[in-house]
């Protein structure tokens, strides 16, 4: 009995070793948590427009594939992903909306004037309230919303080349 | 040149480590004194060359030699000298060099100071130390070379992560490693004992000072880390059950159990197999901690080297140590002779209970830490295990532990007299009862505060009762008691100190979790808010330049009873190299409580004029929180006192002659 029991620690260690080995392999990223918003209806949204036009509300998403990009003029990674948003806007397969997060309107306008404006409409979220509703925990973040008003995909951090491809593929599928 | 010499020294250290593995092992087998002595020379040589490598790397950091990749990536010429030096171990490569330096330091200490050890045991211990050293030196040389040059050299470095630029954190890793790596000696002693097939009182006595030293360092290292988290991260808390905190806490729990079970082996010759297992597990848990931190398999604030190749290498080392250690244990442990019998109610019984509870506590923390990983591995999705789990599982286990800690030391060896002991604890029980009642009457927080205070007072009173008992306080002239106190074995004083200190820490934890007041608000210039009887007024927020950052510094006047008592200056520091913002909490301590202020973001007025402009300010009142660290420091002092105990200074007892084997001396 004791003889068997003395092998017990080794057995437990062996199981842990297998788990550790698995954890190291592949492109597993432990810090990525799937968004609880996926496939759920988009949260409430009602923001004043940056240019003073009609307010940005959920109704804007109805009937078409939409992208909502959370950005700010003070955010460097936003600048890095900016060309990809311009490209998505140029594709014309989805409407691209902006959520200007904790930013001064004059700064945001200057930033867009300098780098180009991919957005059809921009809501201003000066105190970050809408950001809380949408579970934003950093800038930039990008949501893909289906014609039925449900969130289908979320990119945390700047859009990369791979993510641009995935977004385009998903926009194509949703648009069918 | 100095850099290349350092690299070469590291390679030579690896060669010495290899010699240290083979030669003394053969010497011990043949009983050849010359070969066994060569092991000591190899251990000292390994230490000397790692020290040379470490110094050359430190030199590169001090003179800001940015042609060295590790310096360029982690240092900056505008950094204060202290952080240039602490930058040596503020990164993966350098910290590994510190790791092996401490490992070699312990090996060298066994070689140089272990004159009272039987040569064959010492030779085998050194050989196992050599194996660990060779493994980690190979790891550094093959995957994490700290001396790697970059060409062309950058003009300046990218700087050390600003939240690491802090005196508390400068000394946190060295102490932590002293602890982690110090347990390697307990491991090596356990393996050597398994190879020799003998564990006895003398073995337990030899291994004790090493375990004790490692335990003291680990305790201090964890305390420094938690203190740093408390004042630097600005969350007002001191322990977050983060995977990496847990990774350091598990060896601490196992090491604490080991300290206690080794006493039973030493005094009574029982629990041999269990103590060996604990010695092996404690070091394996330390290694696992190293693996978890450096492989990036878990998310943590500490994950600083997300490199699967390195993770794989450490996993390999961990696997070799585990299979070697636990495999040898599985084969040899059944042959260890079990020693003295004892009744369940006895000092041994108390220590067994201590070990069961600490062991279960350690397993609980292990499960909580690895559960997300294991679940993910079996396709169960992503979860995180947070504070509620540990509050529900770990904390209840500590309640009986603290109760027993008050009673156990008064029990006699072999067979204790529980009713008699409880009679002797009358006075302690009365004081505890009064403290309990007082807490019930005064408590305005959650009910667990009553339990925490009661347990802590019980523990302190129990420890003091034991000491008073020993020196016959109040049962004769005071001078006689004092003279007894002076002649008491240091280990007895150490135990009272450490146990009472645990009580102080428990009081600190209880007070700060139960009675914390937290206020988060937006303050404009001139606003006043009240927290726990203090009135805080925001006078201004100004830009202040620092050596390698600029700070927004708030001036908060603190008044109590209409009188200004102090001014707090919480800061938000904006570093440029690398760009990052850190918070500097302002803390005013009365030793009974901390007033703690953090400056947050500047707030713009909300849309439609709702909300006001100002700064987010968080203010905490944390009662008793300094006691957490006062308690741990006293606990460490207790450990140090125990290290000076007479039985570790004078020659160890002669070992009983092994049957059928001539003594090699």
- Owner of token pair 């901690």: B289
Q: A33-37, A164-168, B587-591, B624-628: which range is least confident on average?
A: A33-37
Q: How many domains does chain A have?
A: 1
* pTM summary value: 0.84
Tell me the backbone φ, ψ of residue A74, rounded to 5 degrees: -85, 5
User: Measured between CB atoms, does B321 come within 8 Å of chain A?
Assistant: no
The rounded distance, in Å, linking the Cα atoms of A168 and B79 is 46
Backbone angles phi, psi at B164, to 5 degrees: -85, -10
B308 close to A (CB below 8 A): yes
Rounded Cα–Cα distance for residues B161 and B228 (Å): 15
Structure tokens at B113: 């100071």
Say which residues have a Cβ less than 8 Å from residue B259's Cβ, sequence separation at least 6.
Answer: B208, B211, B212, B215
In this complex, do B297 and A6 lie within 8 Å of one another by their Cβ atoms? no
- Tens of pLDDT along A87-133? 999 998 999 999 999 888 899 999 999 999 999 999 998 888 888 88
Domain range enclosing A86? 38-175
Residues of chain B neighbouring A104 (CB-CB closer than 8 A): 604
Contacts of B284 in chain A (CB under 8 A): 13
B319 has a chain A CB within 8 A of its CB: yes
In a domain, A2, yes or no: no
Query: What are the extents of the domains in chain B?
Result: 1-163, 166-411, 425-515, 518-623
B318 touches chain A (CB under 8 A): yes
Quote the crossing angle between the two packed helices B201-232 and B243-268, to the nearest 10°. Answer: 160
A124: nearest CA partner in chain B: B607
Three-class DSSP category at B449: helix
SS3 labels along B166-195: CHHHHHHHHHHHHHHHHHHHHHHHHHHHHH
Confidence at residue A33, expressed as pLDDT on a 0 to 100 scale: 62
CA distance A164 to B241: 37
The answer to whether residue A30 sits within a structural domain is: no
Determine which of A44-48, B339-343, B352-356 has the lowest per-residue pLDDT on average: B339-343
**B454 close to B435: Cβ distance less than 8 angstroms:** yes
Sign of CA dihedral B241, B243, B249, B253: positive
Give the pair of three-digit tokens for residue A154. Answer: 């979320």
Residue B4: Cβ-neighbour burial (10 angstroms; 0-12, 13-18, 19+): exposed
How many C-beta neighbours within 10 Å does residue B462 have?
A: 28
CA distance A151 to A157: 17
- Please state which of the four CATH numbers 2.60.40, 1.10.8, 2.170.130, 1.20.120 is assigned to the domain occupying B1-163: 1.20.120
**Which of the four pLDDT bands, split at 50, 70 and 90, describes residue B244?**
confident
Name the band, by pLDDT with cuts 50, 70 and 90, for residue A29.
low
- The predicted pLDDT at position A2 comes to 58
Q: Which of residues 463-492 of B touch A (CB under 8 A)?
A: none
Sign of the torsion formed by the C-alpha atoms of A55, A56, A59 and A61: positive
Instruction: Decide if B321 contacts B313 (C-beta within 8 A).
Output: no
Would you say residue A69 lies in a domain? yes
Cα distance from B494 to chain A (closest Cα, Å)? 32
Kindly report which listed range (B109-118, B470-479, B607-616) carries the lowest average pLDDT score: B607-616
A-chain CB neighbours of B333 within 8 Å are: 2, 6
Which residues on chain B are in Cβ contact (under 8 Å) with A34?
Answer: 382
How close is the nearest chain A Cα to the Cα of B427, in Å? 44
Q: Which of A21, A30, A33 sits opposite B296 (nearest CB)?
A: A30
A48 within some domain? yes
CATH number, domain with residue A101: 3.40.30.10
Nearest CA to B356 among B274, B456, B262? B274
Q: Which of chain B's residues have a Cβ under 8 Å away from the Cβ of A17?
A: 315, 318-319, 322
Q: For residue B400, is pLDDT > 80?
A: yes
What DSSP character marks residue A41? B
B295 chain-A contacts, CB cut-off 8 A: 20, 23-24
N- to C-terminal Cα separation, chain B: 45
**CA R_g for chain A:** 21
Are A30 and A141 in contact by the 8 Å Cβ rule? The answer is no
């Amino acid at each position: 009995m004791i003889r068997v029991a003395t092998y017990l620690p080794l057995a437990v260690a062996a199981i842990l070793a297998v788990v550790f080995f698995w954890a190291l392999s592949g492109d597993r990223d432990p810090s990525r948590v799937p968004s609880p918003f996926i496939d759920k209806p988009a949260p409430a949204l009602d923001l004043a427009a940056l240019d003073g036009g009609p307010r940005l509300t959920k109704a804007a998403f109805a009937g078409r594939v939409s992208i909502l990009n959370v950005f700010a003029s003070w955010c460097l990674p936003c600048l890095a992903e900016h060309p990809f948003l311009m490209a998505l806007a140029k594709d014309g397969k989805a409407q691209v909306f902006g959520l200007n997060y904790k930013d001064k309107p004059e700064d945001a306008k200057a930033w867009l004037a300098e780098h180009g404006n991919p957005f059809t409409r921009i809501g201003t979220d000066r105190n970050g309230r809408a950001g809380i509703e949408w579970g934003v925990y950093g800038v930039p973040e990008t949501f893909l919303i289906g014609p039925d008003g449900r969130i289908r995909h979320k990119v945390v951090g700047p859009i990369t080349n791979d993510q641009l491809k995935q977004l385009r593929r998903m926009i194509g599928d949703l648009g069918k | 040149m100095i850099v290349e010499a350092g690299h070469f020294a590291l390679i030579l250290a690896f060669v010495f480590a290899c010699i240290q593995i083979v030669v003394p092992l053969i010497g011990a087998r043949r009983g050849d004194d010359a070969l066994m002595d060569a092991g000591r020379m190899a251990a000292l040589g390994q230490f000397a060359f790692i020290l040379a490598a470490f110094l050359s790397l430190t030199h590169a950091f001090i003179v800001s030699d940015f042609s060295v990749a590790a310096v360029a990536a982690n240092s900056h010429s505008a950094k204060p000298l202290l952080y240039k030096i602490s930058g040596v171990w503020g990164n993966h490569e350098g910290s590994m060099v510190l790791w092996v330096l401490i490992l070699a330091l312990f090996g060298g200490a066994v070689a140089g100071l272990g004159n009272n050890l039987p040569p064959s045991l010492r030779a085998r211990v050194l050989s196992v130390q050599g194996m660990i050293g060779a493994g980690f030196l190979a790891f550094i040389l093959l995957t994490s070379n700290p001396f790697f040059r970059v060409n062309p050299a950058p003009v300046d470095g990218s700087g050390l992560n600003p939240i690491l630029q802090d005196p508390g954190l400068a000394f946190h890793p060295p102490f932590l490693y002293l602890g982690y790596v110090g347990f390697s000696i307990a491991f090596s002693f356990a393996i050597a004992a398994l190879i020799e097939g003998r564990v006895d009182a003398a073995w337990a006595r030899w291994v004790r000072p090493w375990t004790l030293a490692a335990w003291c360092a680990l305790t201090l290292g964890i305390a420094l880390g938690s203190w740093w988290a408390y004042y630097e991260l600005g969350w007002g808390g001191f322990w977050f059950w983060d995977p990496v905190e847990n990774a350091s806490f598990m060896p601490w729990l196992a090491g604490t159990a080991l300290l206690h079970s080794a006493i039973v082996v030493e005094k009574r010759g029982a629990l041999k197999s269990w103590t060996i297992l604990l010695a092996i597990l404690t070091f394996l848990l330390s290694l696992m901690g190293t693996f978890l931190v450096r492989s990036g398999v878990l998310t943590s604030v500490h994950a600083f080297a997300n490199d699967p190749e390195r993770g794989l290498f450490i996993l390999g080392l961990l696997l070799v140590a585990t299979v070697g250690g636990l495999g040898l244990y599985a084969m040899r442990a059944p042959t260890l002779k079990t020693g003295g019998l004892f009744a369940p109610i006895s000092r041994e019984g108390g220590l067994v209970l201590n070990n069961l509870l600490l062991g279960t506590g350690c397993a609980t923390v292990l499960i909580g830490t690895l559960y997300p990983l294991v679940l993910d591995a079996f396709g169960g999705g992503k979860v995180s295990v947070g504070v509620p789990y540990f509050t529900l599982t770990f904390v209840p286990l500590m309640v009986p532990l603290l109760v027993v800690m008050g009673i156990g030391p008064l029990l006699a060896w072999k067979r204790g007299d529980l009713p008699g002991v409880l009679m002797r604890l009358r006075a302690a029980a009365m004081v505890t009862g009064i403290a309990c009642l007082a807490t019930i009457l005064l408590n305005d927080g959650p009910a667990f505060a009553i339990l925490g205070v009661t347990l802590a007072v019980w523990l302190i009173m129990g420890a003091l009762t034991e000491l008073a008992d020993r020196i016959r306080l109040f049962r004769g002239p005071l001078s006689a008691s004092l003279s007894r106190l002076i002649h008491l074995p240091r280990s007895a004083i150490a135990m009272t100190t450490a146990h009472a200190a645990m009580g102080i820490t428990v009081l600190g934890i209880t007070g700060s979790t139960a009675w914390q007041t937290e206020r988060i608000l937006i303050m404009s210039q001139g606003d006043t808010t009240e927290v726990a009887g203090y009135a805080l007024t925001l006078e201004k927020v100004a830009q202040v330049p620092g050596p390698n950052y600029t700070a927004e510094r708030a001036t908060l006047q603190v008044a109590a009873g209409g009188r200004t008592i102090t001014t707090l200056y919480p800061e938000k520091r904006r570093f440029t190299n690398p760009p990052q913002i850190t918070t500097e909490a302002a803390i005013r301590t009365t030793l009974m409580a901390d007033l703690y202020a953090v400056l947050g973001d500047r707030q713009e007025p909300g849309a439609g004029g709702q909300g006001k402009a100002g700064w987010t300010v968080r203010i905490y009142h944390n009662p008793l929180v300094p006691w957490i660290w006062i308690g741990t420091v006293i606990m460490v002092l207790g450990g140090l006192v125990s290290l000076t105990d007479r039985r570790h200074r004078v020659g160890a007892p002669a070992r009983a002659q092994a049957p059928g084997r001539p003594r090699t001396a």
